Every structure is written in C-alpha cells, then in structure tokens.
C-alpha cells in the first residue's frame, strides 16, 4: 500500500505522527502512518503487557526500513513495555525489567529506530531518591551493555501513585545520574497531558512552564512530544488522555506548542483515544494540530 505521503512531500511537512499498530508485523506500521497522513510513528516492538520477548531478524528489519522509505516515514521510534520498572526496590522485578529493557534496546538497534521512550518507573517503597538512583544505574548499565545509537527518552509522567518523573527536577536528576558518558543517548519526552496533570499549566502559563523546563532540564534535551489533551484537571496527578481540544487543556496549549519555533524540528506524536475508527480519529487529531500551527 502506498500512503498519502511521498518521501519528498513529507520532508516539507511538520514532524507529526501517532502511535500505530504493528498487527501483522512491524513492517505493516509505516502504511498505517501513511493512511493518516503522518511522517512520524511510535510503535511497540513486542506485546507490551507480556514479559515474553521477541527477536527482530535482519529480513524483518530490512522490510520495515523499506516500508518507512516507501511511505514517507521520517522518524520512527518505540515505547518500551509497561511492565518494566527499573526503579523497583524488589531485586527480582528490577532484574527482570533490566533484561526486558536490554532486549528492547537491541530491537531498536536492529530496526535502526530514532528513539525509545521509557517511563522512569515506580518507587513502590516510597523512597523516591532511591528509585531515581536505581533507574539511572540500570539505564547506564544497559547503554553500556547494548551497542547502538537509539536515544532513550525519559517520559515526563503525571505522578500517579508512586510514579517517578512528574517533576522537571526528577528528570534532570535522572539525566545527571546516568552521566555524561551517554549524553548523546539520553533525552526526554514531554507528554502534554502528563505535565498538565502533574501541575504544569501549559494551557495558561505556557511560557513560564517552558522557561522552567529550559532552566532545570534544558530545551535541547526535549527530543519528542507526546501531544495529548487531558481528561483530568491541572495537578490531578491522574493520567487520562483525551482528544485534542476536548479536554482540560483546550486548544490554546496546542497553539502555543505548534507555533513555538524552538520545537519546530522536534517530532510530535499523538496518543489520543481512537474510538471505533482508528484512522478517522488519528486524522482528526492530526488535522487539529496542523490548524494550530496556522498563524493566519
């Protein structure tokens, strides 16, 4: 299937996309991106709620890259398993998580992916400082063990329960603890719904929030946005995504983001509710973002 984007045309468009299904194999994902008019994709490289791992052989990887070229996908990345908790105080779970994370890095290497999004984990014992140290140490070891260039992007969270990474300070501490040896393989992913639920009012105080992000983390570290509206209120600490413009953020936050020249080349991926018609929902939300970027 040829998509609605050609490679030449896609290079003149904003870097916008969605998390898309890999049903039928990872090589099927680029066509799904093309069907919604996207030139960026995020995928799961395995079943995300199971520990069972999978290997990506050379033929599959070659088919995936060829499909990306064919369907105008400029940026392709992965989100790791929701089961992984590198911050866990339980040694057995932490080791299981570590091995799964290494497998994910290896699949990213073989597929030549542009990013790997990872949640900072949960400090289930309530000791956030120790959780941050455990997470950073595991990432540092994994990047030492698995060769490759795919950057790990620590995702800002809503801070629900014992989740780490709900503050810019915690994200900055993780980066510092991983250390300068892997500076080129570490960044952050800002999820608009998460940071809003965590208490950062990007709807009404966008410039102030971004100034804080620049001061504490550095805007050069922002290598991806997850663009989602929030079903829950500012500071709720509850992670619930909504369609763009229909949640608590409203349209203004997205107009600010899409018109911010500092992030013009930073990919933006929607993870909005799909409803009964995945293609129609994703097209609708991507059109919303393109309208937000229009200054007319």
pTM of the complete model: 0.94
Q: What is the CA radius of gyration of the chain?
A: 18
Query: What does the block give as tokens for 284?
Result: 């609708």
Strands 229-230 and 75-79: unpaired
Mean of pLDDT over the chain: 95
- Phi and psi dihedrals of 270, rounded to 5? -90, 145
Query: Which pLDDT score, from 0 to 100, does residue 6 have?
Result: 37
Domains by residue range for the chain, with CATH: 7-277 (3.20.20.150)
Least Cα distance to 29 among 79, 83, 68 occurs for: 68
Cα 97 to chain centroid, rounded: 19
Query: Which pLDDT score, from 0 to 100, does residue 13 have?
Result: 76
Q: Encode pLDDT of 18-54 as tens digits.
A: 999 999 999 999 999 999 999 999 999 999 999 999 9
CA distance 41 to 61: 15
DSSP one-letter string for 235-251: T-----EE-TTSSSSTT
Contact 85, 132 (CB under 8 A): no
Query: Which pLDDT score, from 0 to 100, does residue 11 have?
Result: 54
**pLDDT band for position 9 (50/70/90)?**
very low
Ramachandran quadrant class, 143 (left: phi over 0; alpha: psi -120 to 50; beta: rest): alpha
């Amino acid at each position: 299937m040829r998509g609605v984007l050609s490679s030449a045309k896609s290079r003149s468009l904003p870097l916008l996309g969605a998390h898309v299904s890999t049903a039928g194999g990872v090589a099927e994902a680029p066509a799904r991106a093309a069907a919604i008019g996207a030139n960026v994709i995020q995928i799961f490289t395995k079943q995300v709620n199971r520990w069972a791992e999978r290997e990506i052989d050379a033929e599959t990887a070659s088919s995936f890259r060829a499909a990306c070229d064919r369907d105008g996908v400029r940026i392709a990345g992965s989100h790791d398993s929701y089961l992984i908790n590198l911050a866990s105080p339980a040694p057995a779970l932490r080791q299981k998580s570590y091995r799964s994370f290494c497998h994910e890095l290896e699949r990213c290497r073989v597929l030549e992916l542009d990013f790997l999004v990872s949640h900072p984990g949960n400090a289930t014992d309530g000791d956030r400082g120790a959780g941050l140290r455990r997470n950073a140490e595991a990432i540092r070891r994994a990047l030492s063990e698995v060769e490759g260039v795919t950057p790990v992007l620590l995702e800002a969270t809503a801070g629900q329960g014992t989740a780490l990474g709900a503050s810019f300070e915690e994200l900055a501490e993780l980066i510092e603890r991983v250390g300068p040896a892997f500076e080129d393989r570490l960044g952050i992913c800002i999820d608009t719904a998460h940071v809003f639920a965590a208490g950062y009012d990007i709807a009404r105080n966008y410039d102030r929030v971004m100034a804080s992000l620049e001061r504490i983390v550095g805007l050069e570290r922002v290598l991806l946005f997850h663009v989602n509206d929030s079903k829950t209120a500012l500071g709720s600490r509850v992670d619930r995504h909504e369609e763009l413009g229909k949640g608590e953020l409203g349209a203004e936050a997205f107009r600010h983001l899409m018109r911010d020249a500092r992030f013009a080349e930073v990919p933006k991926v929607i993870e909005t509710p799909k409803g009964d018609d995945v293609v129609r929902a994703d097209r609708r939300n991507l059109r919303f973002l393109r309208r937000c970027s229009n200054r007319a």
